[in-house]
Structure 1
Amino acid sequence: MDATAINGSGPARSAASITLEDVGKTYPDGTVAVGDFSLEVHAGELTVLIGPSGCGKSTILRMINRLIEPTHGRIVIDGQDILKRNPVELRRHIGYVIQNVGLFPHQNIRTNVGTVPRLLGWDKKRINERADELLELVGLDPARFAKRYPHELSGGQRQRIGVARALAADPLVLLMDEPFSAVDPIARGRLQEEFLRLQATVRKTIVLVTHDIDEAVRLGDRIAVLAEGGRLLQYAPPAELLSKPDSTAVGDFVGADRGIRRLAVTPLRQAMTPPTAIMAGRPTVDAEGTLYDALAAMLASDAAEVVVVEDGKTVGVVTRTSVFEVPEAEATV
């Protein structure tokens, strides 16, 4: 890939940290959208901003790429204060994915994906090669899709194109504002799964806004729970957030069923014990799965335990009792 630093120079790499220091936005009528908000987003991680409507999460996202100018505070990406940068130039080095994608209807898919590289002055051959590379990366065959137009694609396919376009110039930072909420639940689940696969490949620094706690838990390396006025209530990995909410407000937001959600982000290896001599006939689950996968397999087979397999070999066993005995403090991803 052709990694580009946020300042347009420096050694090639794929991600950069983001630091927000006492950032706020107050509108002329006195409305405080975001108070004094501070957050450290680690390079290569996916941070989720979540909270009720009106808590300022989308405002924070847009201040990072200066679609909204902060009233005060400091935003640093890749060691540089972005408020001292030309905002148009800055945005060309930050990927941005929105809910309704925003593809240009009069341009074919290859041209849409190549938008930012074209603005950066890449030659046509390089743009087309990059567009086709990204179409393959998001699971769309360039031979079939490159010359199609947005109206010829499904909602899920258009959303994939939006992600490909955001990655076209290989930005260090990717901002996503409820990217999967406009598609049906089945397509959304598939898109989330494909996005996790994609992130494992490209390892960008991503800030994602959502109102869906299940999506936040599934996708996020860390989750920032916000309250009205952009107040940060808690910032933690999913398992920690679910097992140890800092306050009643956070506990209420993540839900009374947070114990079940915690199983989905806890590796089953934490409850695994060595295999016994007789394992035949037991349901199996992959070693890279979670406690949720193990419990689901037990319930589906009315079994008290599951066999853990890795590369076709039995490596352990997880019992129903051990699933619920994993200490909350150890439930980490």
Structure 2
Amino acid sequence: MDGTRSAAPINLENVRKQYPDGTVAVEGLSMDLAAGETTVLIGPSGCGKSTVLRMINRLIEPTGGTIRIDGTDVGRQDVDKLRRSIGYVIQNVGLFPHQTIRTNVGTVPRLIGWPKAKIKERTDELLSLVSLDPARYGNRYPHELSGGQRQRVGVARALAADPVVLLMDEPFSAVDPIVRTRLQDEFRRLQETVRKTVVLVTHDIDEAVRLGDRIAVLSEGGRLQQFAPPAELLASPANDFVREFVGGDRGIKLLAVTPIPREKLRPAEGAVAPSVAAESTLQEALAVMLREGSSQVVVQSNGTPAGLLTVDDIVAALAAPQPGQQPEVVTTDGAQPSKPTR
């Protein structure tokens, strides 16, 4: 892997994991994950999503197939060197309880021999990046922080050595819903800044839709049922399994990932209605309509009305095909689809 890159593509080719008792956790999984994007692995309990994650950094060794990061077969790399080049965030954080927050964050840079001054500079930078003042929190211990703060420290530690890949295994599931939403917002902001190749495991479809650039829906045995951007997945599930998994309210979820169709706005001259920014989603526009008791909103672009959006326009936008919508054909018996391409 090229250590000068901030992100790297991941290629999984016919990856398989079978345990000694004959259990097949993952059966012939193939996917191409783009550099700098967040790919979410989702599916029912026991579908192999966490196994896939752990095979990428070789916490679990695959029994077949090939995993490549930036074109390099991870199975041919020194395992310690590999893991130090990959950030890893788990559900319960796993901070060292008797080390300060600053020391925890600097764990990997210390292992690979960074100078002390560089480690301190990097840890302070990352604590600030995850909205923890290093002067206030750097010398505290994990038990002195809230669950949400500890999770932020876990993310900072995973990013400390500037890895090209960040693996996240249900990172926000151990905190309450309000903190979880804040952490998701923090992650989205952080990813816009660092642009790592992220592979995130979750069991929550709303979290997958909110955080993922692409979502891979897995069924039992790690069989890939659909691999698509959130809007495409919600608008056009590939089969009955995906349709049932994303839920009957997928139309509501679709609102959150569908931008306002600026090219189809009505003239706004003389309209008296609440306003929303042009960058808003249909969900945000509908929320304003409901809050204000209005059937329309004026869409503002740089302080100037760009047009009028009505409830009927929202319904029409949801019914229209999504950009690039070409769902993969997957049989309902769970047969493996053809390898997704980008």
TM-score range, shorter chain: over 0.9
Matches of 1:267 and 1:100, distance apart in 2: 35
CA contact (8 A) 2:235 2:322 kept: no
Could you report, residue by residue, the CA deviation over 1:199-238 in whole angstroms, capped at 9, with x for unpaired residues?
0111100000000000000000000000000000000000
The partner residue of 2:49 within 43, 48, 57 is 57
Match of 2:303 in 1: 312
Segments of structure 1 that go 5 or more residues without pairing to the other structure are 1-5
Structure 1 residue 300, shift from structure 2 partner = 1.1
The share of aligned pairs that are identical, in percent, is 66
Q: Which amino acid aligns with 1:29?
A: D
Residue 206 of structure 2 is matched in structure 1 by: 214
1:315 is displaced (CA, Å) by: 2.1
Equivalent residue number for residue 261 of structure 1? 253
- Aligned partner of 2:137 in structure 1 is 145
For residues 128-168 of structure 1, give each alpha carbon's deviation from its aligned partner in whole angstroms, at most 9, with x where no partner exists: 00000001111111111111110010111011100000000
Alignment partners' CA distance in 2, 1:272 and 1:153? 49
Give the C-alpha shift of residue 284 in structure 1: 1.6
Distance 1:81 1:61 in 2: 15
- Give the CA deviation at 1:195: 0.6
- Indicate the residue corresponding to 2:29 in structure 1: 37
SS in 1 for 2:161: coil
Compute the displacement of 1:317 (Å). 1.9
- Residues 218 and 331 of structure 1, relative CA distance in 2, 3 Å threshold: farther
Aligned to 1:299: 290
**What displacement does 1:53 show?**
0.3
Structure 2: state its 5+ residue gaps: 326-342
Distance 1:328 1:209 in 2: 30
Q: CA RMSD in A?
A: 1.4
Match of 1:127 in 2: 119
Q: Choose from 215, 230, 233 the match for 1:238.
A: 230
CA contact under 8 A between 2:8 and 2:165: conserved in structure 1? yes
- What residue number does 2:313 align with? 322
Amino acid at match of 1:126: K
Change in 2 beyond 3 A, CA 1:272/1:185: farther
- 1-side partners of 2:299 and 2:151: how far apart? 35
C-alpha displacement at 1:331, in angstroms? Answer: 5.7
State the TM-score, normalized to the length of structure 2.
Answer: 0.92
Cα pair 1:239 1:332 within 8 Å, conserved:
no
Q: Alpha-carbon deviations, 1:16-60, whole Å to 9, x = none? A: 000000001101111111111111100110000000000000000
Task: For residue 288 of structure 1, give the secondary structure of its aligned residue in structure 2.
Answer: coil
- Count of residue pairs brought into register by the alignment: 324
1:273 match: 265
Residue in structure 1 matched with residue 275 of structure 2 by the alignment: 284
Which AA in structure 2 matches 1:240?
Answer: E
Supply the distance in 1 between the matched residues of 2:135 and 2:271 (Cα, whole angstroms): 47
Instruction: Give the secondary-structure state (helix, strand or coil) at the position aligned to 1:55.
Output: coil
Equivalent of 2:219 in 216, 220, 227: 227
| 8 Å contact kept, 1:271–1:323 | no
Match of 2:99, as an amino acid? Q
In the TM superposition, 1:72-111 aligns within 5 A as 72-111=64-103
Superposition TM-score, scaled by structure 1 size: 0.95
CA distance in 1, matches of 2:105, 2:2: 22
Q: 1:264 offset after TM fit, Å?
A: 0.5
- Contact map agreement 1:23 1:72 (CA 8 A) in 2: yes
Question: For residue 154 of structure 2, what is the aligned residue in structure 1?
Answer: 162
Tell me the secondary structure at the aligned position of residue 110 of structure 2: helix
Q: Helix, strand or coil: the match of 2:276? A: strand
Deviations 1:287-325 (A, max 9, x none): 211001111111111101011123333222211100010
Task: Give the equivalent residue in structure 1 for 2:328.
Answer: none
* Cα distance in 2, alignment partners of residues 128 and 331 from structure 1: 45
